[in-house]
Amino acid sequence: MEEIQNIKVAVDAVVFGYKAKEGISILLIKRKIEPFQSSWALPGGLVKNNETLGDAIERELKEETGVAINYLEQLYTFSKIERDPRNRVISVAYYGLIKPDAFQLEADTDAIDARWFNIKKLPDLAFDHPHIIDVAIKRLRGKITYEPVGFELLDKKFPFSDLEKLYSAVLDRPIDRRNFKKKILKYGFIEETKERQQLEGAGRPGFLYQFNEAKYFDLKQKGITFEV
């Protein structure tokens, strides 16, 4: 007997931002329509018939938040039967990292607002989005320990303390600063520049560092095992 299938496919985006003083944040939108009207949610929506998943998530992010991200990684497929009260919807979630100050947020289409929320102060969320965010946080924390994915969140040249703060914020725990610096620098893809940090007040400013992406990928091709 032939089964009748009536399943819709959606995409959702967990976009992480980072500021040294404020820590890790997540980009959310306030929904314009039911269900969960006026509730906060992840940017996302249904995939159109003529779209790939990648096209759909880029469109939804641009329409609902004004944000365009160069790199989004597929996170997981969420398929709980009653995750959407309207009908059966399978969501393919993505996650990415950006600097919050790099974009002017603009809510449109199905969103009436778009805003950054600290990861520890998230509002009540629509659908199963708390679960999606939990999975994304675990993935980010796991990945940052074996691949330097966080450099998208730092300035091109940065004090080493900013890198330490980033890792501490993502991992949500203190790090051994001396051991951390020793481990990171031994790989050679973090380079000390001749420029010094601009400081207010007394104290000798430290040197700035930069990420050598080409060197990292060369080492990775040679079988480097990055571990923090």
pLDDT of residue 19: 87
213 vs 77 pLDDT, higher one: 77
Cross-strand partners of 165 = none
Mean pLDDT of 104-132: 96
Distance CA 226, CA 62 (A): 34
Kindly report the CATH class assigned to 149-221: mainly alpha
Report d(CA 11, CA 30) in Å as an integer.
16
Q: Do domains 8-143 and 149-221 have the same CATH topology?
A: no
Domain ranges of the chain: 8-143, 149-221
Alpha-carbon dihedral angle through residues 51, 53, 59, 63, given to the nearest 10 degrees: 120
Distance of CA 121 to the CA centre of its chain: 16
| Mean pLDDT score across all residues of the chain | 91
pLDDT-derived band at 150, boundaries 50, 70, 90: confident
In this predicted model, what pLDDT tens digit does every residue of 12-29 receive, in sequence order? 999 999 988 889 999 999
Local confidence band at 202 (pLDDT 50, 70, 90 cut-offs) = low
Assess whether pLDDT exceeds 80 at residue 199: no
Task: Assign a CATH topology to domain 8-143.
Answer: Nucleoside Triphosphate Pyrophosphohydrolase (3.90.79)
Q: What is the per-residue pLDDT across 30-41, written as a single tens digit (0 to 9) for each?
A: 999 999 999 999
pLDDT at residue 200, rounded to an integer: 62
pLDDT, greater one: 183 or 222: 183
Of 110-114, 172-176, 223-227, which range is least confident? 223-227
- pTM of the complete model: 0.90
pLDDT at 6 > cutoff 80: yes
pLDDT of residue 203: 61
β-pairing, 40-41 with 23-31? antiparallel
- pLDDT above 70 covers a percentage of the chain that reads 96
**Among 1-10, 124-133, 201-210, 212-221, the least confident range:** 201-210
